[in-house]
A = this chain, B = another copy of it.
């Protein structure tokens, strides 16, 4: 019978073919936030369903009210093996601002650096490169006698837009999706040499607020003074959302937020995290969050309010003395602990409405929220995965939090009672959601090897 060594050798031998497959997937601009790219989302789903079929999965595209899901299932070589469900997402963030990309975002390429080659393109890391590490591991098992675990796969197309169709989908397909453990590959390593398992994730509330004043755009000379300016109204609302100490001022915002247990706080202090370097890498030096909190706390265990976009009036080149009719902002809240997304959305809307002068109308474009996640930091699966990762990378795997949000993890816990194992091979400088997103070729290669080791470890 083929051994783990055979499987790893197979991954090593097929690096170029694996890269070609990832490039094919990155070339599909599956941007879930933009209607013009909905057909591309469908194409990406079809491509992945075909991949899974080729790997011996029973695979199909499942339609939803939004972008389709891809479902696949394959048996292990032994009947009494454990059953895992792998989750990834094939949708990507919009690529703009396009002018900051060195090469077109959907024309993936290899770039040589002192640290090795990197794969550049929108989705190279988030999440196409990451999800393909798992599929490449499955491919190597298929070529060497079969899978060590029963494996189901769920690939979503709406992760970047708040997973609106996911809860209903999980409820409807509960029986097909129920497994012993959820594997998620959408997180980062601790650093380029240290793998990590993520056990805490922040939740998310995303709101768009549109402020409307006059019935049309006006000349700022002929109307400026008596006519209310929506940018002025919006600026006041946004400015009021933080106090001078960096805390969020929404009433009730910190309900359900608690300080970390001392055990976890100690573990975080022991991580070799350098806040000066972390900020320096992005051109900053002073932490901007709540006064008195460490950078890791700000990222992993404290909630935030961020402004993701704002627009109003004339934004082209040069001067235009318009007094605009409307202005809008995209505002998101990252949640921790037991903060309730619905209550925070409600509090935000009340906060805005309380600050509207006469004649000003407001519209909210909301998205489903997700609460924060805390996963068991002890347990057999975690222990086995840590050992497997240490064997691959030669360094103990860190157990960490993440400031990002992965709504699927909470949904699986709520809907199906399943715990998750979050292992990913991204790096902090991958520039996901930014221009020139990249994934280290080493992450791609050793990521596949890591999954081969983890699946083997889970089955033993």
Closest to A281 in B: B215
**Segment at the interface with B among A6-14, A260-268, A320-328:** A320-328
CB pair B319–A359 under 8 Å, yes or no, is no
Name, among A228, A235, A298, A299, the residue most crowded by chain B CB atoms within 10 Å (CB to CB). Answer: A235
Residues of B within 8 A of A298 (CB): 225-226
Q: Which of A221, A285, A286 has the most CB of B within 10 A?
A: A221
With both chains docked as a complex, state the minimum distance between the C-beta of A33 and any C-beta of chain B, in angstroms: 3
Q: Report the separation of the CA atoms of residues A108 and B234 in the bound assembly, to the nearest whole angstrom.
A: 35
Per-residue interface assignment for chain A, residues 272 to 294, with 1 indicating a CB less than 8 Å from any chain B CB and 0 otherwise: 00010011001111111110010
- Contact status of A222 and B403, CB under 8 A, knowing A238-B235, A282-B216, A317-B34: yes
With A217-B433, A225-B299 in contact, is A320–B94 under 8 Å at CB? yes
With an 8 A cutoff between CB atoms, is A170 at the interface? no
Asked if residues A299 and B222 are in contact (CB atoms below 8 Å), the reply is: yes
CB-contact partner of A222 in B316, B329, B428, under 8 A: B428
Interface string of A305-348 (1 = CB under 8 A from B): 01111111111111111111001011010100000000000000
* A50 on the B face (CB < 8 A): no
Q: Are B229's CB and A359's CB within 8 A?
A: no
Residues of chain B within 8 A (CB-CB) of A96 are 314, 316
Check A226 against B299 for contact (C-beta < 8 Å): yes
Q: Is the CB of A319 within 8 A of B33?
A: yes
Q: Is the CB of B318 within 8 A of A220?
A: no
**Is there an interface contact between A324 and B308, defined as CB atoms closer than 8 Å?**
yes
Copies in the complex: 2
Asked if A327 meets B310 with Cβ closer than 8 Å, knowing A231-B238, A288-B227, A317-B34, the reply is yes
- Do B162 and A279 touch across chains, with their CB atoms under 8 A apart? no
CA A288 to CA B278, docked complex, whole Å = 45
- Known interface pairs A320-B33, A321-B433, A433-B219. Does A313 touch B284 (Cβ–Cβ under 8 Å)? no
Given A215-B282, A226-B278, A288-B229, A434 and B334 touching (CB < 8 A)? Answer: no
CB distance from A358 to the nearest CB of B (A): 4
**A242 on the B face (CB < 8 A):** yes
Which of A217, A227, A239 has most chain B Cβ within 10 Å? Answer: A227
CB distance from A316 to the nearest CB of B (A): 6
B33 A316 Cβ-Cβ under 8 A: yes
Nearest 5 Cβ contacts at the A-B interface: A221-B404, A215-B283, A225-B298, A33-B318, A309-B313
Known: A225-B403, A227-B284. 19 other contacts (CB 8 A): A34-B316, A216-B283, A218-B434, A219-B404, A220-B304, A220-B308, A220-B334, A222-B432, A226-B295, A227-B279, A228-B284, A231-B238, A235-B307, A286-B359, A307-B312, A308-B323, A309-B320, A310-B327, A311-B312
Task: Please name 7 pairs of A and B residues whose Cβ atoms are closer than 8 Å in the assembled complex, sorted by A.
Answer: A97-B217, A222-B404, A224-B334, A224-B403, A225-B403, A307-B312, A308-B322
